[in-house]
Amino acid sequence: MKIKEIYNLAIQMGIKADFRGEQGIRKFLDNKRKQYEKMNEKEKQEFDKEALENPYLDSRIYHIADDKDIKKVLVGVDIEPAEVLMAKEIGDIDLIIGHHPIGKGLAHLADVMDLQSDVLNFYGVPINIAEGLMKERIDEVARGVNSKNHQRTVDAAKLLKMNLMNSHTPCDNLAAKFLKDLIEQRKPERIGELIDLLKEVPEYKEAMKIGAGPKIFVGNPENRCGKIALTEITGGTEGSPKLYAKMAQAGIGTLIGMHISEEHKKEAENSNINVVIAGHMSSDSLGVNLFLDELEKQGIEIIPCSGLTRVSRTG
């Protein structure tokens, strides 16, 4: 496979697993196009045209040094210059694939957060409330990533002539869909049962060995789960802390997330919402693995690094 084919596969898989459905994505892109068409020439020139085709601007190809057939990839959760050097040291790595966004993918992280409004709406939060509260938070995230050294890893890849891309939200969508299906199939009643169910997933089982397995952050094992929502697995990064009260009103009883800040945790507690934290690197690994399985099926060799626990589900 060529880099562009690998990249397009990630985007297509992300769309298929997206909470909004393929039609929802089409509407999202149509809306972007309408905004673009209304722009004046100067605005059009400054506009990132990829936004018209790609619903996941936090996932990009950053550098193509050699557009060869890809046989071996180095894949990690966070790709920094150290990983680029590692790829060089290993020697025959054709492409480095990261999970978390870097470069212009990081600069556009806030763009994918719109997805969370739709996910919240799917779980019963009125769309006006979800959009209103997310808007504040999206602006905050957009300002927050502004201070980052965006191009550091991309510069390293250019200097060392390494191919580099990442897939963030497409993979997080795969993890969210996997967990949603698992929960709908097994319907855990109490928080303890939910934790036990998560612990059956190999990525979480591995994480437990280093003390990073699924944990209850709010609630106790005896609590009833009520409606379990996966509002915090995909869609960029954490939403607004003001959303928990609205989620409780919408009838959500338990949230499963990858990670949670203290401020968010307190708000969930105040709203009597149980919070189960599945784990960050392990949840990211789950989503990335579901994508990598498709590369493995194409005969591509995968070398995991930087927090990725590789589990293959191809056999």
Q: Give contact residues for Fe ion (rule: CB under 5 A).
A: 284
How near is the Cβ of 166 to Fe ion at its closest, in Å? 11
How near is the Cβ of 279 to Fe ion at its closest, in Å? 10
How near is the Cβ of 92 to Fe ion at its closest, in Å? 28
Nearer to Fe ion, 70 or 179 (CB): 179
How near is the Cβ of 258 to Fe ion at its closest, in Å? 6
Q: What value, to the nearest 5°, has the Cα angle with vertex 131 and ends 127 and 133?
A: 120
CA–CA distance, 75 with 305 (Å, rounded to integer)? 6
How near is the Cβ of 148 to Fe ion at its closest, in Å? 15
Amino acid type, 305: C
Nearer to Fe ion, 20 or 100 (CB): 100
Q: What DSSP assignment string belongs to 78-106?
A: S--HHHHHHHHHH----EEEESS--HHHH
H helix intervals, the chain: 3-16, 21-38, 41-46, 81-90, 103-107, 114-122, 127-144, 152-159, 169-186, 191-198, 202-209, 243-249, 262-270, 280-297
Whether 12 contacts 311, CB under 8 Å: no
From the number of C-beta atoms within 10 Å of its C-beta (0-12, 13-18, 19+), residue 72 rates as middle
CA 67 to chain centre: 26
How near is the Cβ of 164 to Fe ion at its closest, in Å? 18
Nearer to Fe ion, 129 or 164 (CB): 164
Nearer to Fe ion, 55 or 98 (CB): 98
CA–CA distance, 77 with 242 (Å, rounded to integer)? 29
